[in-house]
Amino acid sequence: MAKHIYCIANSNHHKVVSKSNDDVYSIPYQDISAVVKDVPFAAYSATSDRETLIRYLTEHQSVIEGIMKASTVIPVKFGTIAMDEKEIMEILDIGYSGFKDAILSMDGKTQVEVLALWNNLDEVIKELGKNRDIKMFKEEAALKPSNEFPSYAIELGRMVKIALDSETARIRDEILDDLKGYAPGIRTHDLMDDRMIMNVAFLIQRNNIHKLYEEIDSMNERYGGDVNFRIVGPLPPYSFSTMEIKRIDIHEIEKAMDVMRINRMSILPAENEIKAAYRMMLKGFHPDKNTGDNEAQKKFEGIRQAYETLMDCIQGGARRSVRGDVIVIKKVV
């Protein structure tokens, strides 16, 4: 059976590690281990049903979050499959120093997600409507013929959106200024809709979590119910130290070097050589210089993919595996 990899843990015990899932176990290497589960090799790639994938992802996260209660963990990107235990040991050997560094840097820390939302977006927009420029524009629009109203409505919507974005950014900056002192690391995530003010992951010392919670409690009072705070955590360091593990066929690397016109004198060129070749190729094939040229666009896309393949290898400390391909292990945030 193939092995689904959940995380790398700071332990060296070969045992069942999940009370809620007794087929999850760890494979040790020196003083770390990979937490895995036996699965068919195509368990995830053969599944296209969204609900099934969400269920798999939820189980993946649940296992990691259970293990973090007893050990420092480094999450592995969902859907990572190794062929067998031999490949797991090879991954642990190749990635040992990177895994160990990540574990040490995350020791004693945890991730907390803080979301801030407008409690009543309609009221916020109503208040923004009292803005001098918006108010004057509405008064001007009211005097125009009805057939001109649609264009004025569009412009009014644009003005309100700009004002809302500005107010959201102001409040977000205030909140972050107050909270950033509690966390050595911050990652901002995309906002899902206009109601969201902030969606931020904080990397924080476990023994400082209560201080963060106390500060958010005081913010609730300060904003008088206008802002709704939601806290998710503690969590594994998903946003700060998730590892991606993948294999790249040696022929794919050679093809990438050919596309980039890099001499294949060694398995991998140096990073500065890759970047220099990329800059040189962009001079002739960048879309901005070849507007309407579909062939140049395809060529540029091939160059970009080749560059990303080679940079993945460099940044992921690529090493040749016993199967002849290259194993790349890198942090994704």
> Using one digit for the tens of pLDDT, what is the confidence trace for 264-308?
666 677 778 888 888 887 776 666 666 666 777 778 788 888 888
Instruction: Indicate whether 328 pLDDT > 60.
Output: yes
148/91 Cα distance (integer angstroms):
66
Residue 38 corresponds to which tokens in the numbers above?
């036996």
The three-state secondary structure class of 249 is coil
Question: If you average pLDDT over each of 3-12, 108-117, 222-231, 324-333, which comes out highest?
Answer: 108-117
Strand partners, 113: 201, 232
DSSP, residue by residue, 159-204: HHHHHHHHHHHHHHHHHHHHHGGG-SEEEE----STTEEEEEEEEE
What is the CB neighbour count within 10 angstroms for residue 145?
6
- Is the pLDDT at 13 greater than 70, yes or no? no
Q: Is the pLDDT of residue 76 over 90?
A: yes
Measure the CA–CA gap between 159 and 134, rounded to whole angstroms: 7
DSSP 83: S
Helices (H), 243-319: 250-259, 271-285, 294-315
Residue whose entry in the numeric block shows the structure tokens 């001098």: 132
**Is the pLDDT confidence value at 73 over 80?**
yes
Backbone angles phi, psi at 245, to 5 degrees: -125, 125
Rounded distance, CA 83 to CA 228, Å? 46
Identify the pLDDT of residue 111.
Answer: 94
CA distance 34 to 7: 6
* pLDDT tens column, 256-271: 888 878 776 666 777 7
Domains within the chain, CATH numbers bracketed: 2-107 (no CATH), 110-237 (3.30.70), 249-332 (1.10.287.110)
State both tokens at 18.
């999940």
**Lowest mean pLDDT across 97-101, 140-144, 204-208:** 140-144
With a cut of 60, say whether residue 322 has pLDDT above it.
Answer: no
